[in-house]
Amino acid sequence: MEHISHAKTYWVVWAALMCLMVATVVLSRVPMPGPLNTLIALGIAAAKATLVILFFMHLRYENYTLISVVFVAGLFWLLIFFGLTLVDYASRHVLGVPGH
Amino acid sequence: MFSNLPLWPSQASSLSGNVDLLYIFLILVTGLFTILVFAVVIFFAWKYRQAPDRHATQIEGSNALEATWTLIPFGIFMIMFVWGAAVYMRGVQPPPNAMEVYVVGKQWMWKLEHPEGVREINTLHVPVGKDVRLTMISQDVIHSFYVPAFRMKQDVLPGRYTTMWFHATKTGHYHLFCAEYCGTLHSGMIGEVVVMEPNEYQAWLSGNVNTGTLAMSGEKTFAELGCSSCHRSDTQGRGPDLAGLYGKPVALDNGTTVLADDNYLRDSILNPGSKIVSGFKPIMPTYNGIVNEEQLLSLVSYIKSLSQPQQGQPAAAPASVPLHTGRTQAPSAGNTKVK
Amino acid sequence: MSASTTEAVAQHSLQHHFSTMEQQRESTTLGMWIFLVTEIMFFGGLFTAYLVYRLAHPDVWEYASRHEMEFWLGTINTTILLCSSLTVALSVHAIQLGHRKLCAILLFITVLMGCGFLVVKGFEYHKHYVDGSVPGPWWHMHVERPDGSTMPAPNTYQLFFYLYFVMTGLHALHVTIGIVLLAIIGLWAWQGKYTAEYHNPVHISGLYWHFVDLVWIFLFPLLYLIAGK
Amino acid sequence: MATTAVATPVVRENYLNTNYGIKSWLLTTDHKRIAILYLISITLMFFIGGFFATLIRLELLTPQGDLMTADTYNKVFTMHGIVMVFFFLIPSIPATLGNFLIPMMIGAKDLAFPRINLLSWYIYIVSAALMIYVIVNGGVDTGWTFYTPFSTTYSNTNVFLAGIAIFINGFSSILTGLNFIVTLHRMRAPGMTWSRLPLFCWSHYATSVIQVLGTPVIAITLALVAIERLWHIGIFDPKVGGDPVLFQHMFWFYSHPAVYIMILPSMAVMSEIITCFSRKRIFGYAFVALASIGIAVLGFLVWAHHMFVAGISAYAALVFSLLSYFVAVPSAIKVFNWTATMYKGNVSLRTPMLYALGFIGLFTIGGMTGLFLANLGIDPHVTDTYFVVAHFHFIMVGGAVMAYLGGLHFWWPKMTGRMYNELWGKVAAFLIFAGFNLTFLPQFILGYTGMPRRYHAYVPEFQVLNVLSTAGASILALGYLLPLIYFLSSLRNGPIAGDNPWAAQGLEWKTASPPPTFNFEETPVVTWEAYDYEDLPKEVPVVS
C-alpha cells in the first residue's frame, strides 16, 4: 500500500530547501577561483533536487526500485548525451587542423 | 569495362590505394561471413525441411557457441576499426609545407583561390605529386567537397574553416561533386579537379591574369579597413602585433590559451569581443557583415604570411617546392608553422 | 462518507483492464515517472546546447548573467516554486488522509503561486525587452567596456539570451500546463472525486508539478548565478 | 432472391463484431481495434511514400533531370524520407503488431493505458494530416534530415509546418513506448515471468526504451528549427556564433537510435516466426533477449558516425567509430541465434518463413555494409553517396519492411480470423526479395564509384546501374501491391483460419481468432517457457 508520511517531514524538507537556496544565493556572491562557483551552485541544486525527489515525490517511500531505475536511466541517458557531445567539442582543437 | 558502367572509381591520390585496399579487405571478410550465413540458412532450410517423420530436436542453446560468435566477430571488428583509424588519421592530417588552396562554397558553385592569386570557379588545377591542402568555408549552407578519385570528402561549413588534403598521383580530369545536400541545384554544384604535370601547372598559373597573391590582396584589405592603425609592430599599437602570431598559442585575458589557427583569426575579425588577448582592451569593432568570406580568407592569408620568413629571403619551404622560387614575393601560404 | 460509499467510489475508479486498485495505482505512477523521464530528455536537448555554448563563450555567459539577469526576481521565483512544491506535497498528504477540502485548498494555493511565478517572469521578460536583450529584430543590447563606455554587444551575446528565452519559455509553458492541471484536479478534489483510497490523479499531477520545480532548481543557478560578484 | 445470411450462433463474439459503426471504432479503447486503425493509416502513408519512391526512380532513369524540375525532385525525395521514416517505419510494427499482440502475449486484457493508446493514434492522425497538408501545399525540400542552416534560413518551402508535424508525431511514438513499458511491467498474467516472456515482448521493450528516451530530443531539436524559422535567429545560426554541427549532434542523437526503433520490432517478429516454422524453441533465449537491450543501450552511443566528415573532431570520430563496432556485435548474435534455431528443426517454408529467411539475408547484407560505414578509412569516401542509401534501405526495407510483411502474414489469421492465399503470398515474397536486391545492390557500386545521394541529375557514366535499380524498383512495387490485394480479398473469401492455424506456441494463439474484446475468457496462468514446442504438433498444419 501507499506510504503516508508525517506532515512534519514535508515542513522539514521545505525548511532544508529554503536553507539551501539561501546558501546558493549567498555563495554565488562570493568570488571563487575558476569554475568553483558554478560547481558549488550545481552541487546545491543537485542536493535540492534530491530532497524534492526523495521526499516530495515519494521516491524514498514507494517500494519502487523500478521507478528509481527509470529515473536513473533518464539521468544516465542525459549524461550520455552531454558526454559524447562534449567528446567532440572538447577535442576540436587538439589536432590543430581546422575542422578535425 | 563499358565506358558507361564504371564498377570502380579511378585511383588518383596517395590515399586511394589505402582506402581501396581496406575496402577490398572488408569486402572479403564481410563477403565470407555473408556467404556463410546464406549457405547455412539455405542448408538448414533444405536439410531440415518439413518431413512427416521428422521431429524437431529441442535445443536450449550453447554458451560456448554464443561466446564464439560474440568474440570472433568482435575481434574482426577491432581489426577493421584499427586499420580504418590508421587510414583516417593519415587522411586528416595535412603534411607540413603542403601548398594551400582556399575554397569558398556557395549555392551552387565552388570558388577556388590559389595563393598566387589565381581564382577559378568549379575547376581546381593542381600539380601532380604534390601535397595540396584545402582550407574551406561556405558562404551560405553546408556543402561537401568530394573528389571520388581521391577517396576524399569533407563538409564545408558556414562560419568555420574545415581542412582537407590530398596528394594527386595521376594526371587527368576528375569529378568534383558537392556531396552535402544544399538546395535546388545541389546536383549542379559539380566541377572537376585537373591534375597536371608541375611544369604545365606552372605554365597554367602564369598564363592566368594575376592581380597579385592572396596575401597581397589581404594586405591591401588590411590597410583599407584601417587595421594597421591599431595592429602595429611597435609598442604603440592598441591591438596585438600580428607578426609571427599564426600557429602560436595566445594567452587570453580570462586566463585560458588558444591556438592562433585559421578559425581563431577569422573569429577575432568577426567577433573581436569574444576572445580578448591578455593585456588588451575589448575595443576592436566587429567586421561582421563588412568583410565577405573571400576577403576574410585573404586577410587570414596575409596574417599567416606575416609568420613566414622575411620577404626577399629564400622561403623556408623545402626546395622541393619549385612553385615559389623565382618569385619576388614568397608569402607561401603553406602552413609552415613557426614552432 | 460511509465505508460502503468509499468502496463504491473505489470500485468505480478501477478501470476494467486492471485487476486491483494497487495495480492501477502502480501503473499510473510508473507511467508518470516514465513521462517525466521523457521530459528530462526534452529539456536535455536545451541543456546540451547550453553546455556547448557556455563552454565556447564563457565570458559572454558570465557577463550576461552578471549584468543582465534579474538576480532578485530569479530568487523570488525560486522561493515561490519551492514553496509551491511544499503545498502540493501537503495536498497529496491531505487527500491520503481523506481531507478533500484541505487538499483542494492547498492545490488552489499552489495554482496561485504558479500564477505569481508567471507574473514575476513576465516582469523579467519586459525588462529584457526594454533593455534590448531579446534576440532577433528587437536586439539592441549594449555592453559596458572596462572604461565605463558602452558598445553594441557582440553577436554571440544573442546565443545566451536565445537559450535563456527558450529554456525559461519552455519552463513557463510547463508551469502553465501545471497550473491548468492542478486547477482542474483541485476542482475535482473539492467536488469529492478523490478519497483516501482513490486519489492517484492528485498524486501524479503533484509529480508533474514537482518536476517543473526540479527544472527550475537547475535553471536558476545556470542562468542567474554564473559569476561571483 | 431471399437471403439466408443470418448470423449463425456459431459466430462467437469478437473484437470485430462486438459492435459496429464509425463511432465504435473512432472512440474505441480496445488495443486490437486501435492496432487496426494504425494498420489502415500507416498503409496509406506507405503507399504515399512509395509513390514518391516511384517518382525518384523514374527521374533517375536518365542522367538529365528531365522528368521534373530540380526543386520538385528535392521535395519528392524529402517527402519520401519523411513519410517513410516518421509516418511508416517508426510506427509500423510497434503500433500495429505490437499494439495488437503485446497484451495478448502477456495475458492482459488491454494495454495499461487504453485511452492514451487511442490518444496516440489521434496524435498520429493529426500529425499525418498536417504532413499531407504540407505535401499538398508545395511540400518541403530540406531532406528528411533538416540540416541547418539550409532548413532554418535558406529553404523557401514549408519547413515550419513539416517540423511541427514531426514534433507532434513524436508524442504519438513516446506515448506508445510509455504504454508498452508500463504494460510489460505491470500487466503480465500470473506466471508470465521475464524469463518466460516471448522475445517479441523483449524486443518491443527495448524499442520502447529508445522511443521514450530518444524521441523527446528530436522533438526539441525540430522545435528549435521551427522557432529559428519564425524568429530568424537561433542557436544553430553561424552568424551569432552558433554551430550547425550541434544540430547534427542533436538530430542524430535520436535519429540513429530511431533506426533501432525500426529494426528491433522486426527482430521481435523474426524470433516468433522462426521458432514456429522450425517447431523449435529459440536457440539461446537469454542471449537474444539481452541482445535487444544491448542494442537499445549501445544504439545511443554511436550517433556521430553519421558525421565523420561533418567537421567533428578527429578524436570524436575515433570514439564513435569504435563504439559503432560495438553495436554491431548484438545484431550479429541475433542473426547467428536465428540461424541456429533452424538446426535440427522441422522447417516449413510457408509465406511468413520466406519473409523471415529473406530478412536474415537482407539484414545480414545491410549489417555487413554498416561495417564499411562505421569504418573511418572508408566512410569519408562513401558517406553521402548511394552506398549509404543502399545500406540503410537494406536495413529499413530489406529488414524492417520484410519483417513487417512477414509478421502481417503470420498474425493475419489471428487479426482477421481468415487465411490469405498461400500461393500468392509466396509469389509476392519472391518478387519482393528479387526486386529489392535488383533495386539496391547496384546502388552499392554506384556509391563506391562516387555518385552522391540526393542528386537530381547525374553524370552519364552512372546510368546503367541506375537503370538496373529502377527496373528492380518496378518489380518491388508490384511485389508490394500483391499483398494489399490478396489480404483484402481474404477478408471475404479467405478460409476460416481457426484459433491456432500454425499450431504456434504463445498466449495469443490460445484465444479465439479473431480474439474477444478482452482477449481471454479468463486470465490465463502461465506455467510454460516461451517457445515450448515440445508438446505441440510436429508440423505446421495447413488450412484450406
Query: What would the 3-class secondary structure string for chain B be?
Result: CCCCCCCCCCCCEHHHHHHHHHHHHHHHHHHHHHHHHHHHHHHHHHHCECCCCCCCCCCCCCHHHHHHHHHHHHHHHHHHHHHHHHHHHHHHCCCCCCEEEEEEEECCEEEEECCCCCEEECEEEEECCCEEEEEEEECCCCEEEEEHHHCEEEEECECCCEEEEEEECCCEEEEEEECCCCCCCHHHCCEEEEEECHHHHHHHHHHCCCCCCHHHHHHHHHHHCCHHHCECCCCCCCECCCCCCCCCEEEECCCCEEECCHHHHHHHHHCCCCCCECCCCCCCCCCCCCCCHHHHHHHHHHHHHCCCCCCCCCCCCCCCCCCCCCCCCCCCCCCCCCC
Q: Give the 3-state secondary structure of residue D496.
A: strand
Residue D444 lies in a domain: yes
Domain match, B202 and B266 both: no
Domain match, A6 and A37 both: yes
- Complex ipTM, two decimals? 0.91
Q: Which residue has the cell 590505394?
A: B17
- What is the pLDDT at residue C46? 96
The CA distance from C106 to D513, in Å, is 52
Which of D401, D540, D399 has its CA nearest to residue D479? D401
| Chain D interface disruption, residue of A64, A65, A84, most D CBs within 10 A | A84
- What is the pLDDT at residue B308? 72
Give me the half-sphere count of Cα atoms (radius 13 Å) on the Cβ side of residue D252: 19
From C150-154, D132-136, D205-209, the region with the lowest mean pLDDT: C150-154
The 10 Å Cβ neighbour count of residue D477 is 19
- What is the pLDDT at residue A60? 79
Residue C13 lies in a domain: no
- Which residues, in sequence order, are CB contacts of C22 under 8 Å at separation 6+? A1
Q: Is D427 on the interface with A (CB under 8 A)?
A: no
Task: Please give the grid coordinates belonging to residue D532.
Answer: 515450448
Query: Which of chain B's residues have a Cβ under 8 Å away from the Cβ of A93?
Result: 258-259, 261
Domain match, B170 and B42 both: yes
Q: Is D20 on the interface with A (CB under 8 A)?
A: no
* Residue B271 phi, psi dihedral angles, 5° rounding: -130, 70
Domain match, A75 and A53 both: no
Which string of b and e fits C173-210 if b means at least 16 CB within 10 Å?
Answer: ebbeebbebbbebbebbbeebbbbbbbbbbbbbbbbbb
Mean pLDDT score, B293-297 = 87
Domain match, A2 and A23 both: yes
The CA distance from B221 to B227, in Å, is 9
More confident residue, D313 or B248: D313
Q: Which of A74, A81, A100 sits opposite D313 (nearest CB)?
A: A100
Q: What is the DSSP letter of D154?
A: I
The CA distance from D257 to D297, in Å, is 9
The CA distance from D301 to D45, in Å, is 31
Mean pLDDT score, D115-122 = 96
Domain membership of residue D319 as a residue range: 31-510
| Chain A interface disruption, residue of C37, C110, C207, most A CBs within 10 A | C37
Q: What is the DSSP letter of D452?
A: B
How far is residue B103 from each of residues B166, B290, D266, measured CA to CA in Å?
14, 20, 45
Rounded to a whole number, what is the distance in Å from the CA of D20 to chain B's nearest CA? 42
Is the model's pLDDT at B330 over the cut of 60?
no
CB-based contact A95 D314, cutoff 8 Å: yes
- What is the pLDDT at residue C11? 58
- Binding partners of A (≥3 Cβ pairs within 8 A): B, C, D
Is the model's pLDDT at B86 over the cut of 50?
yes
pLDDT < 50 stretches in chain A: none
Closest alpha carbon within chain A to D303? A84
Domain match, A42 and A91 both: no
Domain match, B223 and B278 both: yes
Is the model's pLDDT at D418 over the cut of 70?
yes
- Of the pLDDT bands very low, low, confident and very high (cuts 50, 70, 90), residue C228 is low
Closest alpha carbon within chain C to A8? C90
Average pLDDT value over all residues in chain D: 94
Domain match, A47 and A22 both: yes
- Which residues, in sequence order, are CB contacts of C82 under 8 Å at separation 6+? A14, A17, A18, A21, A48, C213
Domain match, A36 and A72 both: no
Residue D154 lies in a domain: yes
Is the model's pLDDT at D544 over the cut of 90?
no
Mean pLDDT score, C76-81 = 96
What are B125's strand-pairing partners? B194
Mean pLDDT score, B95-124 = 92
Are D313 and D261 contacting, i.e. CB atoms less than 8 angstroms apart? Answer: no
From C104-118, D9-23, D260-274, the region with the lowest mean pLDDT: D9-23
The CA distance from D390 to D438, in Å, is 11
Residue B187 lies in a domain: yes
Q: Give the 3-state secondary structure of residue D225.
A: helix
- What is the pLDDT at residue B235? 65
The CA distance from D517 to D30, in Å, is 7
Query: Which of chain D's residues have a Cβ under 8 Å away from the Cβ of B92?
Result: 314
CB-based contact B163 A100, cutoff 8 Å: yes
SS3 content of chain D, % helix, strand, coil (to 5): 70, 0, 30
- What is the pLDDT at residue A35? 83
What is the C-alpha end-to-end distance of chain D, expressed in Å?
29
The CA distance from D201 to B339, in Å, is 61
Single-letter amino acid code for the residue at D345: G
| Chain A interface disruption, residue of D205, D246, D312, most A CBs within 10 A | D312
Residue D169 lies in a domain: yes
Domain match, A56 and A30 both: yes
Query: Which of chain B's residues have a Cβ under 8 Å away from the Cβ of A89?
Result: none
Task: Please give the grid coordinates belonging to residue D353.
Answer: 518463413
Q: Which of B31, B91, B153 sits opposite D384 (nearest CB)?
A: B153
Residue B277 lies in a domain: yes
Mean pLDDT score, C97-108 = 95
Q: Is A76 on the interface with C (CB under 8 A)?
A: no
How far is residue C117 from each of residues C81, C174, C175, D229, measured CA to CA in Å?
7, 12, 8, 29
Is the model's pLDDT at B80 over the cut of 80?
yes
Which of B195, C186, C48 has its CA nearest to residue D246? C48
Residue B125 lies in a domain: yes
Are D131 and D112 contacting, i.e. CB atoms less than 8 angstroms apart? Answer: no
- What is the pLDDT at residue C7? 53
How far is residue D268 from each of residues D289, D403, D434, measured CA to CA in Å?
10, 9, 24
| Chain C interface disruption, residue of B238, B268, B270, B271, most C CBs within 10 A | B271
- What is the pLDDT at residue A3? 74
Distance of CA B303 to the CA centre of its chain: 20
Residue B11: CATH number of its domain: 2.60.40.420
Query: Which of chain D's residues have a Cβ under 8 Å away from the Cβ of B271?
Result: 241
Q: What is the 3-state secondary structure (H, E, C) of D123-142?
A: HHHHHHHHHHHHHHCCCCCC
Residue D522 lies in a domain: no
More confident residue, B260 or D179: D179
The DSSP secondary structure of C46-61, one letter per residue, reads: HHHHHHHHHHH-HHHH
- What is the pLDDT at residue C127? 94
CB-based contact B281 C57, cutoff 8 Å: no
The CA distance from D275 to B289, in Å, is 66
Domain match, B132 and B149 both: yes
From C103-112, C139-148, C174-183, the region with the lowest mean pLDDT: C139-148
Query: Which of chain B's residues have a Cβ under 8 Å away from the Cβ of A96?
Result: 259, 261
Residue B81 lies in a domain: no
Which tens digit of pLDDT belongs to each residue from D5-56? 444 446 688 999 888 889 999 999 999 999 999 999 999 999 999 999 999 9
Domain match, B155 and B249 both: no
The CA distance from C61 to C72, in Å, is 18
Which tens digit of pLDDT belongs to each residue from D153-172? 999 999 999 999 999 999 99
Residue B270 lies in a domain: yes
Domain match, A1 and A40 both: yes
Q: Give the 3-state secondary structure of residue D243.
A: coil
DSSP H/E element including C142 = strand C142-144
Counting one residue from chain B and one from chain C, the pairs whose CB atoms sit within 8 A come to 27
- Of the pLDDT bands very low, low, confident and very high (cuts 50, 70, 90), residue B217 is confident
Average pLDDT value over all residues in chain B: 84
Counting one residue from chain A and one from chain C, the pairs whose CB atoms sit within 8 A come to 127
Q: Are strands B99-106 and B131-138 parallel, antiparallel or unpaired?
A: parallel
What are B163's strand-pairing partners? B135
Residues of A with CB under 8 A from a CB of B: 93, 95-100
Domain match, B249 and B265 both: yes
Domain match, A42 and A84 both: no
- Of the pLDDT bands very low, low, confident and very high (cuts 50, 70, 90), residue D433 is very high
Is the model's pLDDT at D493 over the cut of 60?
yes
Q: Is A83 on the interface with D (CB under 8 A)?
A: no
Residue D89 lies in a domain: yes
Share of chain D above pLDDT 70, in %: 98
Q: Which of C40, C93, C228 sits opposite A10 (nearest CB)?
A: C93
- Of the pLDDT bands very low, low, confident and very high (cuts 50, 70, 90), residue B243 is confident
The CA distance from B295 to B265, in Å, is 13
DSSP H/E element including D17 = none
Is the model's pLDDT at C6 over the cut of 60?
no
The 10 Å Cβ neighbour count of residue D476 is 26
Burial of residue B80 (number of CB atoms within 10 Å: 0-12, 13-18, 19+): buried
Domain membership of residue C197 as a residue range: 21-224
Is the model's pLDDT at D447 over the cut of 90?
yes
Q: Taking the CA atoms of C8, C14, C17 and C18 in sequence, report the sign of the dihedral they define.
A: negative
- Going across the sheet that includes B143-147, the strands are B123-127, B191-196, B172-178, B143-147, B152-156
Q: Which of B22, B107, B190 sits opposite D377 (nearest CB)?
A: B22
Domain membership of residue A88 as a residue range: 64-100
Q: Give the 3-state secondary structure of residue A42.
A: helix
Are D50 and D480 contacting, i.e. CB atoms less than 8 angstroms apart? Answer: yes
Which tens digit of pLDDT belongs to each residue from D353-368? 999 999 999 999 999 9
From D18-22, D200-204, D395-399, the region with the lowest mean pLDDT: D18-22
Q: Are strands B109-113 and B162-167 parallel, antiparallel or unpaired?
A: unpaired
Average pLDDT value over all residues in chain C: 90
Is the model's pLDDT at B125 over the cut of 50?
yes
Is the model's pLDDT at B136 over the cut of 70?
yes
Secondary structure E strands in D408-506? none
Residue D533 lies in a domain: no
From B214-223, B325-334, D331-340, D466-475, the region with the lowest mean pLDDT: B325-334
Rounded to a whole number, what is the distance in Å from the CA of A89 to chain B's nearest CA? 14
Mean pLDDT score, B261-283 = 81
CB-based contact B286 C155, cutoff 8 Å: yes
Residue D525 lies in a domain: no
Domain membership of residue B251 as a residue range: 214-305
The count of structural domains within chain A is: 2
Counting one residue from chain C and one from chain D, the pairs whose CB atoms sit within 8 A come to 108
Residue C229 lies in a domain: no
| Chain C interface disruption, residue of A3, A44, A52, most C CBs within 10 A | A52
The count of structural domains within chain C is: 1
Domain match, A44 and A82 both: no
Q: What is the DSSP letter of D385?
A: B
Closest alpha carbon within chain C to A16? C82
Is the model's pLDDT at B19 over the cut of 80?
yes
Give me the half-sphere count of Cα atoms (radius 13 Å) on the Cβ side of residue D184: 26
- What is the pLDDT at residue C12? 65
Q: Is C34 on the interface with A (CB under 8 A)?
A: yes
CB-based contact B160 A99, cutoff 8 Å: yes
- What is the pLDDT at residue A33? 80
Q: Is C25 on the interface with A (CB under 8 A)?
A: yes
CB-based contact A95 D313, cutoff 8 Å: yes
Domain match, B230 and B156 both: no
For chain D, positions 495-524, list CB contacts with chain C under 8 A: 518, 523
Residue C122: CATH number of its domain: 1.20.120.80
Is the model's pLDDT at D335 over the cut of 90?
yes
Residue B273: CATH number of its domain: 1.10.760.10
Closest alpha carbon within chain C to A30? C228
CA angle centred on D367, ends D504 and B66, rounded to 5°: 60
- What is the pLDDT at residue C8? 53
What are B101's strand-pairing partners? B134
Closest alpha carbon within chain C to D243? C53
- What is the pLDDT at residue C54? 92
How far is residue B151 from each of residues B26, B98, D4, measured CA to CA in Å?
16, 18, 74
The CA distance from C207 to C89, in Å, is 9
Residue D324: CATH number of its domain: 1.20.210.10
Q: Give the 3-state secondary structure of residue A59.
A: coil
Task: Please give the grid coordinates belonging to residue B179.
Answer: 556531396
Which of B68, A52, B297, B233 has its CA nearest to residue C85? A52
The CA distance from B102 to D490, in Å, is 65
